[in-house]
Amino acid sequence: MSVTIREAVAADIGAIHGFILALADYEKLSHEVKADRASLDKYLFGPRPMAEVLIAENDGEAVGFALFFHNFSTFEGRPGLYLEDLFVIPEARGLGAGKALLSRLAQLALERDCARLEWWVLDWNEPSIAFYRSLGARPMDEWTVQRVDGEALSALASAHPAR
């Protein structure tokens, strides 16, 4: 048995969607999932992809994924990689799939001249936090996440007319 990492292809949409649903269930956020196969196909493999996905396989079977995209640091003056989601099915945890996914992301960050690789983790997810710390990740406790969505996003968009 060995874990391998590969780039996702459009034929992986079903597996990616399944991983997203399983992750949402684990994070107790299933009620927030709006992604479906069509939206994933459009934004991951359409004419203008907005994110990329790596698939972890064990003996040829998909056991996990990492969905990521580029961001940009104005202070560094260089791009970064932002890991939106990483998930490994419970039966495959302990095989090294999570570490292999993060290692491949770090390789991509270096290959692409990125200044950093970063992600969020829920504050109650102690197993993941401990895992990330073991890999050298450090918390950015002085930062808080801000979000505008739904009606607030629409209101903000209409606050100043585009010219």
Measured from the Cβ of residue 127, the count of other Cβ atoms closer than 10 Å reads 8
- Catalytic residue status for 43: no
List CB contacts of 6: < 8 A, sequence separation 6 or more: 54, 55, 57
Taking the C-alpha atoms of residue 49 and residue 125, their distance in angstroms, rounded to an integer, is 30
Catalytic position from the list 26, 43, 82, 132: 132
Enter the tokens of residue 84.
Answer: 């939106």
Q: Which of 16, 20, 92, 4 is nearest to 53 (CA)?
A: 16
Strands 117-119 and 3-7 turn out to be unpaired
Could you give the angle at the alpha carbon of 127 between the alpha carbons of 69 and 82, nearest 5°? 10
Positions marked catalytic = 132
